[in-house]
Chain A
Amino acid sequence: MRFSSRRISRVGVLIAIGLVLWIFEELIPHPVPFFRLGLGNIASVIALYFLGFPSAILVATGRVILGAFILGRLFSPSFILSFSGAVMSVFAMAFARRLHGAMSIWGVSAVGAYTHSATQVVMAYFILYTNSAVFSFIPLIGLFALFAGLLVAFFSAAVLRKVMV
Protein backbone atom coordinates (compact mmCIF):
# COMPACT_ATOMS: atom_id res chain seq x y z
CA MET A 1 0.00 0.00 0.00
CA ARG A 2 1.40 3.36 -1.04
CA PHE A 3 1.28 6.08 1.52
CA SER A 4 0.86 9.68 0.48
CA SER A 5 3.15 12.17 2.14
CA ARG A 6 0.12 13.60 3.92
CA ARG A 7 -0.64 10.20 5.40
CA ILE A 8 2.99 9.61 6.35
CA SER A 9 3.14 12.89 8.21
CA ARG A 10 -0.11 12.13 10.01
CA VAL A 11 1.13 8.70 11.03
CA GLY A 12 4.31 10.35 12.30
CA VAL A 13 2.39 12.84 14.41
CA LEU A 14 0.22 10.08 15.86
CA ILE A 15 3.30 7.97 16.68
CA ALA A 16 4.74 10.98 18.48
CA ILE A 17 1.52 11.56 20.43
CA GLY A 18 1.27 7.89 21.33
CA LEU A 19 4.93 7.84 22.33
CA VAL A 20 4.59 10.76 24.72
CA LEU A 21 1.47 9.30 26.34
CA TRP A 22 3.06 5.85 26.53
CA ILE A 23 6.32 7.02 28.09
CA PHE A 24 4.45 9.31 30.45
CA GLU A 25 2.44 6.35 31.66
CA GLU A 26 5.48 4.09 31.75
CA LEU A 27 7.22 6.47 34.16
CA ILE A 28 4.34 6.35 36.63
CA PRO A 29 5.07 3.56 39.09
CA HIS A 30 2.71 0.65 38.63
CA PRO A 31 3.45 -1.85 41.36
CA VAL A 32 0.80 -4.31 40.23
CA PRO A 33 1.38 -5.64 36.72
CA PHE A 34 -1.37 -5.48 34.09
CA PHE A 35 -3.23 -2.61 35.78
CA ARG A 36 -2.45 0.21 33.39
CA LEU A 37 -4.63 2.57 31.49
CA GLY A 38 -2.87 2.19 28.15
CA LEU A 39 -3.09 5.86 27.26
CA GLY A 40 -0.81 5.18 24.27
CA ASN A 41 -3.73 3.33 22.73
CA ILE A 42 -5.43 6.69 22.24
CA ALA A 43 -3.09 7.21 19.28
CA SER A 44 -3.93 3.76 17.89
CA VAL A 45 -7.67 4.37 18.17
CA ILE A 46 -7.42 7.78 16.54
CA ALA A 47 -5.27 6.32 13.76
CA LEU A 48 -7.74 3.48 13.17
CA TYR A 49 -10.69 5.84 12.81
CA PHE A 50 -8.90 8.68 11.09
CA LEU A 51 -6.45 6.86 8.82
CA GLY A 52 -7.54 3.24 8.69
CA PHE A 53 -6.11 -0.13 9.66
CA PRO A 54 -2.65 -0.14 7.99
CA SER A 55 -1.81 3.23 9.50
CA ALA A 56 -3.08 2.13 12.89
CA ILE A 57 -0.72 -0.87 12.83
CA LEU A 58 2.14 1.47 11.92
CA VAL A 59 1.24 3.83 14.75
CA ALA A 60 1.02 1.01 17.30
CA THR A 61 4.26 -0.73 16.31
CA GLY A 62 6.13 2.53 15.79
CA ARG A 63 5.14 3.72 19.23
CA VAL A 64 6.19 0.54 20.99
CA ILE A 65 9.49 0.14 19.13
CA LEU A 66 10.53 3.78 19.57
CA GLY A 67 9.37 3.74 23.17
CA ALA A 68 11.46 0.66 23.87
CA PHE A 69 14.45 2.39 22.29
CA ILE A 70 14.03 5.43 24.49
CA LEU A 71 13.55 3.48 27.71
CA GLY A 72 16.34 1.06 26.73
CA ARG A 73 14.39 -2.16 26.76
CA LEU A 74 14.23 -3.20 23.13
CA PHE A 75 13.63 -6.97 22.84
CA SER A 76 13.32 -7.35 26.61
CA PRO A 77 10.39 -9.41 27.93
CA SER A 78 8.42 -6.28 28.72
CA PHE A 79 8.97 -5.09 25.15
CA ILE A 80 7.62 -8.34 23.78
CA LEU A 81 4.57 -7.97 26.00
CA SER A 82 3.96 -4.37 24.91
CA PHE A 83 4.53 -5.16 21.26
CA SER A 84 2.29 -8.20 21.06
CA GLY A 85 -0.38 -6.46 23.11
CA ALA A 86 -0.38 -3.35 20.94
CA VAL A 87 -0.47 -5.26 17.65
CA MET A 88 -3.15 -7.70 18.77
CA SER A 89 -5.29 -4.89 20.09
CA VAL A 90 -5.20 -3.06 16.74
CA PHE A 91 -6.20 -6.26 14.94
CA ALA A 92 -9.06 -6.80 17.40
CA MET A 93 -10.21 -3.19 17.09
CA ALA A 94 -10.17 -3.33 13.28
CA PHE A 95 -12.18 -6.55 13.47
CA ALA A 96 -14.67 -5.10 15.95
CA ARG A 97 -15.08 -2.01 13.81
CA ARG A 98 -15.88 -4.13 10.77
CA LEU A 99 -18.69 -5.98 12.52
CA HIS A 100 -21.40 -4.44 10.36
CA GLY A 101 -21.06 -1.17 12.25
CA ALA A 102 -22.63 -2.75 15.32
CA MET A 103 -20.10 -1.08 17.58
CA SER A 104 -19.17 2.53 18.07
CA ILE A 105 -15.77 3.77 19.13
CA TRP A 106 -16.64 2.90 22.75
CA GLY A 107 -17.05 -0.79 22.13
CA VAL A 108 -14.15 -0.91 19.68
CA SER A 109 -11.80 0.74 22.15
CA ALA A 110 -12.97 -1.50 24.99
CA VAL A 111 -12.35 -4.57 22.81
CA GLY A 112 -8.89 -3.21 21.98
CA ALA A 113 -7.94 -2.57 25.59
CA TYR A 114 -9.29 -5.95 26.61
CA THR A 115 -7.33 -7.72 23.88
CA HIS A 116 -4.24 -5.79 24.92
CA SER A 117 -4.49 -7.03 28.49
CA ALA A 118 -5.50 -10.55 27.52
CA THR A 119 -2.56 -10.85 25.11
CA GLN A 120 -0.17 -9.63 27.77
CA VAL A 121 -1.45 -12.03 30.38
CA VAL A 122 -1.15 -14.95 27.98
CA MET A 123 2.32 -13.88 26.79
CA ALA A 124 3.44 -13.31 30.36
CA TYR A 125 2.38 -16.83 31.13
CA PHE A 126 4.64 -18.18 28.38
CA ILE A 127 7.58 -15.79 28.69
CA LEU A 128 7.92 -14.76 32.30
CA TYR A 129 7.73 -16.64 35.48
CA THR A 130 4.33 -15.77 36.85
CA ASN A 131 3.01 -17.24 40.04
CA SER A 132 -0.58 -18.31 40.13
CA ALA A 133 -1.49 -15.33 42.31
CA VAL A 134 -1.54 -13.14 39.19
CA PHE A 135 -4.03 -15.44 37.56
CA SER A 136 -6.53 -15.08 40.36
CA PHE A 137 -6.59 -11.38 39.42
CA ILE A 138 -7.71 -12.12 35.85
CA PRO A 139 -11.33 -11.01 36.42
CA LEU A 140 -10.10 -7.73 37.88
CA ILE A 141 -7.61 -7.27 35.04
CA GLY A 142 -10.39 -7.81 32.51
CA LEU A 143 -12.81 -5.40 34.15
CA PHE A 144 -10.09 -2.81 34.58
CA ALA A 145 -9.15 -3.15 30.90
CA LEU A 146 -12.75 -2.51 29.87
CA PHE A 147 -12.79 0.62 32.02
CA ALA A 148 -9.45 1.74 30.54
CA GLY A 149 -10.81 1.11 27.05
CA LEU A 150 -13.80 3.34 27.71
CA LEU A 151 -11.51 6.05 29.04
CA VAL A 152 -9.36 5.79 25.91
CA ALA A 153 -12.53 5.97 23.79
CA PHE A 154 -13.56 9.11 25.66
CA PHE A 155 -10.31 10.91 24.83
CA SER A 156 -10.14 9.54 21.29
CA ALA A 157 -13.71 10.56 20.54
CA ALA A 158 -13.00 14.03 21.89
CA VAL A 159 -10.10 14.38 19.47
CA LEU A 160 -11.87 12.75 16.52
CA ARG A 161 -14.89 15.04 16.87
CA LYS A 162 -12.55 17.94 16.19
CA VAL A 163 -10.56 16.30 13.39
CA MET A 164 -13.16 14.40 11.42
CA VAL A 165 -15.49 16.83 9.78
Chain B
Amino acid sequence: MASFSPKIGDFIAIIVLAGISFLPSVFMRSAEAGEGAKGKKFSVVIGDSTVFEGTLAKDTVFTVIGAVGAVRIEVENRRVGVIESSCPRKICVAMGFTDDPGKPVVCIPNRLIVEVMSSGEEDVDAVLE
Protein backbone atom coordinates (compact mmCIF):
# COMPACT_ATOMS: atom_id res chain seq x y z
CA MET B 1 0.00 0.00 0.00
CA ALA B 2 2.69 2.47 0.96
CA SER B 3 4.22 2.74 -2.48
CA PHE B 4 5.08 6.24 -3.59
CA SER B 5 6.85 5.65 -6.86
CA PRO B 6 5.75 7.96 -9.71
CA LYS B 7 3.15 6.72 -12.16
CA ILE B 8 2.51 7.64 -15.75
CA GLY B 9 -0.45 9.79 -14.67
CA ASP B 10 1.93 12.03 -12.73
CA PHE B 11 3.88 12.94 -15.83
CA ILE B 12 0.72 13.52 -17.84
CA ALA B 13 -0.77 15.74 -15.13
CA ILE B 14 2.41 17.80 -14.78
CA ILE B 15 2.85 18.26 -18.51
CA VAL B 16 -0.82 19.23 -18.96
CA LEU B 17 -0.68 21.73 -16.09
CA ALA B 18 2.58 23.19 -17.38
CA GLY B 19 0.86 23.64 -20.73
CA ILE B 20 -2.16 25.30 -19.14
CA SER B 21 0.18 27.79 -17.47
CA PHE B 22 1.00 29.26 -20.84
CA LEU B 23 -2.61 29.65 -22.00
CA PRO B 24 -3.29 33.03 -20.34
CA SER B 25 -0.18 34.58 -21.85
CA VAL B 26 -1.20 33.38 -25.31
CA PHE B 27 -4.58 35.08 -24.88
CA MET B 28 -2.96 38.20 -23.52
CA ARG B 29 -0.55 38.37 -26.42
CA SER B 30 -3.36 38.22 -28.97
CA ALA B 31 -5.30 40.85 -27.00
CA GLU B 32 -2.21 43.05 -27.03
CA ALA B 33 -1.78 42.54 -30.76
CA GLY B 34 -5.37 43.67 -31.26
CA GLU B 35 -4.68 46.80 -29.30
CA GLY B 36 -1.44 47.39 -31.14
CA ALA B 37 -3.26 47.41 -34.46
CA LYS B 38 -5.44 50.26 -33.25
CA GLY B 39 -2.33 52.15 -32.20
CA LYS B 40 -1.64 54.50 -29.37
CA LYS B 41 -2.98 58.02 -29.50
CA PHE B 42 -0.92 61.16 -29.25
CA SER B 43 -1.70 64.82 -28.87
CA VAL B 44 0.03 68.06 -29.74
CA VAL B 45 -0.36 70.82 -27.19
CA ILE B 46 0.67 74.42 -27.75
CA GLY B 47 0.48 76.64 -24.72
CA ASP B 48 -2.67 75.60 -22.94
CA SER B 49 -4.65 74.21 -25.86
CA THR B 50 -4.55 70.88 -27.64
CA VAL B 51 -4.18 71.65 -31.34
CA PHE B 52 -4.00 68.12 -32.73
CA GLU B 53 -4.89 64.58 -31.77
CA GLY B 54 -4.11 61.46 -33.79
CA THR B 55 -2.96 57.88 -33.62
CA LEU B 56 0.46 56.42 -34.16
CA ALA B 57 -0.99 53.76 -36.46
CA LYS B 58 -0.82 55.86 -39.64
CA ASP B 59 2.31 57.59 -40.92
CA THR B 60 1.71 61.30 -41.50
CA VAL B 61 3.52 64.62 -41.60
CA PHE B 62 1.84 67.86 -40.63
CA THR B 63 2.70 71.38 -39.52
CA VAL B 64 1.47 73.32 -36.55
CA ILE B 65 2.17 76.93 -35.66
CA GLY B 66 3.84 77.43 -32.32
CA ALA B 67 4.71 80.53 -30.34
CA VAL B 68 7.69 81.44 -32.58
CA GLY B 69 6.71 79.75 -35.83
CA ALA B 70 6.07 76.56 -37.73
CA VAL B 71 6.82 73.10 -36.31
CA ARG B 72 6.76 70.06 -38.55
CA ILE B 73 5.66 66.86 -36.86
CA GLU B 74 5.98 63.40 -38.31
CA VAL B 75 4.41 60.08 -37.38
CA GLU B 76 6.49 57.21 -38.61
CA ASN B 77 6.74 53.58 -37.58
CA ARG B 78 4.30 54.00 -34.67
CA ARG B 79 6.39 56.80 -33.22
CA VAL B 80 5.98 60.54 -33.30
CA GLY B 81 8.56 63.33 -33.31
CA VAL B 82 9.46 66.82 -34.50
CA ILE B 83 11.40 66.93 -37.78
CA GLU B 84 11.59 70.68 -38.37
CA SER B 85 11.16 73.60 -36.05
CA SER B 86 11.38 77.35 -36.11
CA CYS B 87 13.07 77.48 -32.72
CA PRO B 88 16.73 78.53 -32.40
CA ARG B 89 18.36 75.44 -30.91
CA LYS B 90 16.27 72.61 -32.42
CA ILE B 91 16.34 70.66 -29.18
CA CYS B 92 12.91 69.25 -30.01
CA VAL B 93 14.27 67.81 -33.25
CA ALA B 94 17.21 66.35 -31.39
CA MET B 95 14.81 64.63 -28.96
CA GLY B 96 13.91 62.27 -31.76
CA PHE B 97 10.79 60.11 -31.92
CA THR B 98 8.76 58.73 -29.05
CA ASP B 99 6.09 56.13 -28.43
CA ASP B 100 6.37 56.29 -24.66
CA PRO B 101 3.72 58.17 -22.62
CA GLY B 102 6.46 59.00 -20.13
CA LYS B 103 8.70 60.66 -22.70
CA PRO B 104 7.07 63.60 -24.48
CA VAL B 105 8.82 65.61 -27.17
CA VAL B 106 8.94 69.24 -26.10
CA CYS B 107 9.81 72.53 -27.81
CA ILE B 108 10.11 75.22 -25.19
CA PRO B 109 10.37 78.32 -27.46
CA ASN B 110 7.25 77.21 -29.32
CA ARG B 111 5.51 76.19 -26.07
CA LEU B 112 4.82 72.85 -27.76
CA ILE B 113 4.42 69.39 -26.28
CA VAL B 114 3.97 66.25 -28.35
CA GLU B 115 2.71 63.63 -25.97
CA VAL B 116 1.79 59.97 -26.43
CA MET B 117 -1.30 59.15 -24.39
CA SER B 118 -1.12 56.26 -22.04
CA SER B 119 -3.33 53.28 -22.77
CA GLY B 120 -4.31 53.03 -19.12
CA GLU B 121 -2.48 49.78 -18.53
CA GLU B 122 1.05 49.28 -17.32
CA ASP B 123 1.33 52.96 -16.47
CA VAL B 124 4.52 54.30 -15.07
CA ASP B 125 4.54 57.32 -12.79
CA ALA B 126 7.73 58.81 -14.13
CA VAL B 127 10.73 57.97 -16.27
CA LEU B 128 14.18 58.82 -14.96
CA GLU B 129 17.27 58.90 -17.11
A146 touches B4 (CB 8 A): no
CB B18 to nearest CB in A, in angstroms, measures 6
Tell me the number of A-to-B contacts counted with CB atoms below 8 Å: 76
In the assembled complex, the Cα of A6 lies from the Cα of B1 at a distance in Å of 21
A104 touches B21 (CB 8 A): no
Set A104, A131, A146, A164: member contacting B18, Cβ < 8 A:
A146
By a CB distance below 8 angstroms, the chain A residues around B1 are 164
A107 touches B4 (CB 8 A): no
B2 touches A142 (CB 8 A): no
Using known A-B contacts A110-B14, A111-B13, A146-B18, determine if residue A136 contacts B6 with beta carbons closer than 8 Å: no
Give the contact-size bracket for chain A: 20 to 34
In the assembled complex, the Cα of A77 lies from the Cα of B18 at a distance in Å of 27
B9 touches A136 (CB 8 A): no
Using known A-B contacts A96-B13, A132-B122, A164-B1, determine if residue A107 contacts B6 with beta carbons closer than 8 Å: yes
Using known A-B contacts A102-B7, A104-B5, A161-B2, determine if residue A110 contacts B17 with beta carbons closer than 8 Å: yes
By a CB distance below 8 angstroms, the chain B residues around A111 are 13, 17
The answer to whether A165 has its CB under 8 Å from any CB of chain B is: yes
By a CB distance below 8 angstroms, the chain B residues around A105 are 4
Using known A-B contacts A104-B7, A160-B4, determine if residue A138 contacts B24 with beta carbons closer than 8 Å: yes
CB B25 to nearest CB in A, in angstroms, measures 6
Enumerate A61-97 residues with CB–CB distance to B below 8 Å.
Answer: 96
A103 touches B10 (CB 8 A): yes
In the assembled complex, the Cα of A45 lies from the Cα of B4 at a distance in Å of 13
The answer to whether B20 has its CB under 8 Å from any CB of chain A is: yes
In the assembled complex, the Cα of A165 lies from the Cα of B2 at a distance in Å of 7
B25 touches A136 (CB 8 A): yes
A142 touches B20 (CB 8 A): yes
Bits for B1-34, please: 1 = Cβ < 8 Å to A, else 0.
1111111111111100110111011001000000
A136 touches B28 (CB 8 A): yes
CB B24 to nearest CB in A, in angstroms, measures 5
CB B20 to nearest CB in A, in angstroms, measures 7
Residues of B whose CB lies within 8 Å of any CB of A are 1-14, 17-18, 20-22, 24-25, 28, 121-122
Residues of A whose CB lies within 8 Å of any CB of B are 96, 99, 101-107, 110-111, 114, 131-133, 135-136, 138-139, 141-143, 146, 150, 153, 157, 160-161, 164-165
Known: A107-B9, A107-B11. 19 other contacts (CB 8 A): A101-B7, A102-B9, A102-B12, A103-B9, A104-B4, A106-B10, A110-B17, A131-B121, A132-B28, A133-B122, A135-B24, A138-B24, A139-B24, A142-B22, A146-B14, A153-B4, A160-B2, A160-B4, A161-B2
* Top-6 shortest CB links A-B: A142-B21, A107-B10, A102-B9, A103-B9, A157-B4, A164-B2
